[in-house]
Amino acid sequence: MIELLKGDITTLEVDAIVNAANTSLLGGGGVDGAIHKAAGPELLMECRQFKGCPTGMAKITQGYRLPAKFVIHTVGPVWRDGKSQEPELLESCYKASLQLALDFKFQSIAFPSISTGAYGFPKEIAAEIAISAVKAHLDKYANPSQVFFVAFDDDNYKLYKQKLHI
């Protein structure tokens, strides 16, 4: 049910990839910029209609030029001190994304490491939250039947491999 991949999330042929977006949903750096670039200008046009997204929530768009049919955009928290609801908000990102996957009856979804780049969330804590949220969802629901964690770099890949015991 849970798989770990190393590579570029924009190349995956899944029902949905998750975008670690900013509150504007209008593109940015890191995975957000890569997804917008790979999906094409239509993604930006659809995202403009939302007029943003609050931290911890998620919105869904078409995948356009991506192999993935849909993109679930979720806004992770910026790490401050760990005492400003960052862990709860990050968990909410995963829950909200998985709820959309359930609502749309997706069989497969791929997650990047949310908030660990420019937003500075400690990678180890973020991985624990991500894995815990996904496992809790899969304990309750059959969908999605495949969940991928996609690590772009060696550090995240090794960390998730260790945390997933694979």
Which residues does the annotation mark as catalytic? 32
Report the side by side order of strands in the sheet with 2-6: 2-6, 146-151, 108-111, 16-21, 70-75, 58-62
Q: How far apart are CA 82 and CA 11, in angstroms?
A: 33
Sequence-separated (6 or more) residues with CB below 8 Å from residue 40: 64, 65
Question: What are the structure tokens assigned to 83, written together?
Answer: 């005492």
Q: How far apart are CA 34 and CA 156, in angstroms?
A: 18
∠ Cα 52 57 61 (to 5°): 60
Q: How far apart are the first and last CA of the chain?
A: 13
Q: How far apart are CA 130 and CA 117, in angstroms?
A: 15
